[in-house]
Structure 1
Amino acid sequence: MLLFTFLGTSSGVPSLSRNVSGLAIKNTKNRDWMLIDAGEGTQHQILQAKLSLQHLKVICITHVHGDHCYGLMGLLASAGMNSRKENLIIIAPKEIQTWLEVTAKLTELYLPYPIQFIDVKDILNQAFHIDEYLSIQCVSLHHRVPSYAFIITAQHVQKKLDIETLKEQGLPKGKAWGTLQQGNDIEWNKQIFLSQDYVQTSIQQVQAIIAGDNDMPELLSDACKTANVLIHETTYTQAVLDKVGKSPMHCSAKMLAEFAESTSLPNLIATHLSPRYHDKQGIQTIHDEIAEFYRGHFFIANDFDQYQLDASAVLI
């Protein structure tokens, strides 16, 4: 139901192997997708991932630090130059709207499509429905600037027609069956067939949390009770964080792993790695620290890695 494509997995600055933060989330039921954060160079990553700006529906910015938003203006401009006409929703801190307005004024930014800006504070702890399939709500985190997590809920309504009963009652297969499955009643052979009597409706739902920078993962305790996967920063190992100190206000692999274990979280994806961990040995160090404290299913994301959360809430 949800396909995650990591466009950037580095913290602070890009490296030869990792760009700064960006995550594409696609609803597998259609071509629409959303973008969580847009660090510098994100539009190049979008091109390589073969994602279309025409089908980009929502951009969410977790916080105003440059490695999470400096690629936004160029991306918006490119969408305009590619003749985008459809409305684009931006959910972000209010400062992002101010920055966009000033940039548009000073640089003649041409946007031939409407932007619907939503202050992230307006959807704190309440759902904003993107369409009939997707909704978003926000949770406040703890960082040097206001930072947020986005809770993405996807649902699919499946309608199964009671074929055997219809056969027994003699209703011929064809258009009439389709009409019933679409929720409409029909009359056939002087008999009324009510859709509700022949259609079994089931709702499949999955939920993912994508967090911005945050040194207090416990702020997501309530949200994780219903989440199928948490995507969260692991900027440092605990040993490096102890040396660096608390001032950067980032999370270590140990902190995240202990939190995920305490909430019985089924799936975890670690991202936002400090450049000191971008080689094979560094990634293994992060992996080993998470594995020591978390017994669940986890991955350490690389740029262009893809993971799918299917309708049964299995992450592959």
Structure 2
Amino acid sequence: MLQFTFLGTSSGAPSLTRNVSGLAVRHSKSKDWILIDAGEGTQHQIQRAKLSLQHLQAICITHVHGDHCYGLMGLLASAGMNGRKEQLTIIAPKNIQLWFEATQQLTDLHLPYPLEFIDVNTLQQAIQINESIQLSAIALHHRVESYAFAIEVIQQQKKLNVDALNALSIPKGKLWGDLQQGKDVEYDGKLLMSNQYVEIQQHRVKAIIGGDNDQPELLSSACQDADVLIHESTYTQATLDKVGTAPMHSSAKMVAEFAEQVQLPNLVLTHFSARYHDHEGLNMLKNEAQQFYSGQLFLAEDLASYEFNADHVLVKI
């Protein structure tokens, strides 16, 4: 139902193996998608992930630090050069709009499509991005105004009562198809009502995607009914203790303890300091998180995709 493709998983600056923050989110059955953050180089990662800027529905910027937004202007310009005409929604702190307007004026930037800016600070209730995705925002704690985004998909599926149809010896084919589409049909002199043979099943997935944040507990309410939390894990706890509180980031231990406390079934860590980009460093983060979290744990990788499958299990694809 819901698919996540990581376009960048490094904090601060890119490395040879990881770009800075960017995450593509889409409904598995649709080409439409949402971009969460757009660090420098994001448009190259979009091309590598084979995503189309024509199908981009919205861009959500968690905060104004450069590793989360410096790729935005080039991305917007490229979308125009590639012939985009449809309106694009940008949900972000107000300063992102002011930055765009200054860039537009100072660099002679002309877009052939309209932008709708929504100040994330004014987003008091959930909004519908498209027919399948709903989005809301949660304030976090960082050196600048920072937010998490809650993304929810609700999908309805019609399931035929096969046993009942077989019991009546109703042949497969058009009659079954018509019933599933909500049509009443006549068979052997009897009127078969669709609502008696079709069950409406509702499937729901909710993801919480955090910006930079040193207080995971701010997401407690949002995570009560969430299926997955995607959160920064910039340091191990030992490193965080050394650098102090000034960077206002989370450690693997902090996020893992929180995820365990609220009983999250899935946790994806990202936004890793460059000191952890090798195999040994990633194992340090993973081992620390596993000491405090018993659910399903992933460490995000650039250009890797993760999806909730038909059994509602998050898997790497």
TM-score by length of 2: 0.92
**SS of residue in 2 equivalent to 1:145:** coil
**SS of residue in 2 equivalent to 1:254:** helix
- Aligned letter for 1:315? L
1:217 shift after superposition: 0.1
* Aligned residues with identical type, % of pairs: 61
Residues 154 and 15 of structure 1: CA distance in aligned 2, closer, same or farther (over 3 Å): same
1:148 shift after superposition: 0.6
User: In the alignment, is the contact (CA less than 8 A) between 1:129 and 1:135 conserved in 2?
Assistant: yes
1:239 shift after superposition: 1.2
1:190 shift after superposition: 8.7
User: In the alignment, is the contact (CA less than 8 A) between 1:204 and 1:311 conserved in 2?
Assistant: no
* Alignment correspondent of 2:13: 13
**What does 1:195-206 correspond to in 2, within 5 Å?**
195-206=194-205
1:178 shift after superposition: 3.8
Listed as ranges, the gaps of 5+ residues in structure 1 are none
* Alignment correspondent of 2:306: 307
- Aligned letter for 1:242? D
Residues 123 and 191 of structure 1: CA distance in aligned 2, closer, same or farther (over 3 Å): farther
Residues 88 and 189 of structure 1: CA distance in aligned 2, closer, same or farther (over 3 Å): farther
CA distance in 1: counterparts of 2:256 and 2:170, whole angstroms: 57
1:56 shift after superposition: 1.2
Residues 99 and 192 of structure 1: CA distance in aligned 2, closer, same or farther (over 3 Å): farther
* Alignment correspondent of 1:81: 81
**SS of residue in 2 equivalent to 1:288:** helix
Residues 169 and 300 of structure 1: CA distance in aligned 2, closer, same or farther (over 3 Å): closer
Alpha-carbon deviations, 1:264-295, whole Å to 9, x = none? 11111110011111112111111111112112
**What does 1:1-316 correspond to in 2, within 5 Å?**
1-124=1-124, 126-162=125-161, 165=164, 177-185=176-184, 194-316=193-315
1:164 shift after superposition: 5.6
CA distance in 2: counterparts of 1:186 and 1:154, whole angstroms: 32
**SS of residue in 1 equivalent to 2:100:** helix
**SS of residue in 2 equivalent to 1:203:** strand
My pick for the range that moved more, 67-76 or 298-307, is 298-307
My pick for the range that moved more, 193-202 or 296-305, is 193-202
CA distance in 2: counterparts of 1:170 and 1:118, whole angstroms: 56
TM-score by length of 1: 0.92
User: In the alignment, is the contact (CA less than 8 A) between 1:158 and 1:201 conserved in 2?
Assistant: yes
1:100 shift after superposition: 1.5
User: In the alignment, is the contact (CA less than 8 A) between 1:205 and 1:311 conserved in 2?
Assistant: no
**SS of residue in 2 equivalent to 1:51:** coil
